[in-house]
A and B are shown apart, each in its own frame.
Chain A
Amino acid sequence: MPVIESIDNIIQLVTTGFCTAFSACRLVATKRREWAILTLAGAVCFLGDLYWQLYLLFYGKTPEYSYISYIGWYAGYLFLSLLVVEIRGERKAKYNRWLFLVPAFTIGMGIFYLQWGDLIGNIISATLMGILIWVSVDALIMAKNEKKKESVFLYITILIFCFAEYAMWTASCFWQGDTFMNPYFWFDILMSSVFLALPFALKKAVKYE
């Protein structure tokens, strides 16, 4: 069993578990829908990581077809997108034209990753990541224009999550082995840290509403 991958997974299990538990407590205390969505986002990422770690533990290798964990992480992207839409509220202004760089970026990266990954997985990842980055950047622009500074931290945290995910995917294309010198593990730790920051970012965003 790859030890470093297991340590990395366990760290992420702890942080996603923290995110889920913290959000669930806030949900019970405040009964707000935003906390329900973050609880679900944390929970599905936790389940995806748990499946991966259990498979490593019992079979000593990573899942060969990997559908299940990826499906959990895809659900995480969807719930984060729904969270941003929920916090952002109704949008009235026109879309900023710079936003159209987002699909260009995700499609471009998807084509680049096709050299290593499968077609369907790349299409799903590019689509869901495209939606998440689009709504986050759009909400960030809206928040700046409407001077809603309290939600900016949440959108930036989610964009750091997207950056870490893309950095991990790119690092995995040029795999440096199971060592802490592999940048893949640095970015995975960054992603784990994002799950610690998300509840505090959401707390700040909903505090002033």
Chain B
Amino acid sequence: MNNIENIFMCLAAPLLIASTVTKERGRRLMIFMLTGMASCLFSSYISTFIAAAQGADVISASLEISPFVEEIMKLFPLIFYILVFEPTVTSDILDACMMTAIGFATLENVCFLMTNGSEDIIELAIRGFGTGTMHVVCASFVAFGLLHLWNRLWLRVAGTVAFLCAATTFHGIFNVLVSQTGIPMYIGFIIPVGTMVGILVLRKRLKLRGII
């Protein structure tokens, strides 16, 4: 069993101290990374609670409940930032999305290391890149909804919810594949990396801002 709060404290402390001495963008990045880790901590509590309330076993909780909870928990800090601080610069919102996702993936990977050990460097590297990229891809979906959708509020809300749903389903497929061993697991880790490359290529080709 992991004491996730203790791991969170160890990782959060240096970031918290760093955020007091850095300024402006640097501080904002630190705080969002910290927020991402906090989202991971709360996701763990909420997923456990829902699983217990529904009588779900560990596999069902990990495959069917946690992707849904995790994606929603990652969105909350962004919604708070957008509604309270009303950022006008697009790159600020994008930074917030990405750093929240990176913070989330960092705590998740550390918890995995604590549970499964750190002997196999190759497998851990694949897992590290796979999980990290998966969270960044899911954050990109949501960021895309927040940044590039229509001008009217209700269309923007509907579009963002739709992208959140897409991110949740993508996350669910990743979890199903990486819960296996051998080839399905490696496919699971490769899919987010492939998707990220696809997004970058498509973005370059279409110059997205002009389209959506």
Taking beta carbons and an 8 Å cutoff, which residues of A are in contact with B?
27-28, 31-33, 36, 40, 43-44, 47-48, 50-51, 54-55, 58-59, 63-69, 71-72, 74-75, 78-79, 81-82, 85
Contact = CB atoms under 8 A, between A and B. Distances in A.
Interface stretch (B4-12, B59-67, B75-83, B113-121): B59-67
A65 B184 contact: no
Contact of B211 (A31, A63, A66): A31
Contacts of B68: 67-68, 71
Contact of B162 (A32, A69, A82): A82
B147 interface: no
B166 A58 contact: no
Contacts of B173: 47, 50-51, 54, 68
Contacts of B155: 82, 85
Contacts of A79: 162
A63 B62 CA distance: 12
Given A48-B169, A64-B56, A68-B64, 20 more contacts: A28-B205, A32-B211, A36-B212, A44-B162, A51-B176, A54-B176, A58-B176, A64-B64, A65-B56, A65-B60, A65-B64, A68-B68, A69-B169, A69-B172, A71-B169, A71-B172, A72-B168, A72-B169, A79-B162, A82-B158
Contacts of B196: none
Nearest to B198: A24
Contacts, number: 95
7 contacts: A31-B206, A58-B179, A64-B60, A65-B64, A75-B169, A78-B158, A81-B158
Contacts of A71: 68, 165, 168-169, 172
B158 A68 contact: no
B205 A66 contact: no
Contact of B184 (A28, A31, A51, A58): A58
B161 interface: yes
B42 interface: no
Contacts of A78: 158-159, 161-162, 165
B177 interface: yes
A44 B169 CA distance: 8
Interface string B198-212: 000010011000111
A50 B68 CA distance: 16
A44 B184 contact: no
A65 B65 contact: yes
B20 interface: no
B170 interface: yes
The 10 closest A-B pairs by CB, nearest first: A75-B165, A68-B172, A72-B169, A78-B162, A47-B169, A65-B64, A75-B162, A71-B165, A44-B166, A54-B176
Interface centre among B59, B173, B180 (most CB of A within 10 A): B173
Contacts of A74: 165
A33 B148 CA distance: 11
A187 to B, nearest CB: 22
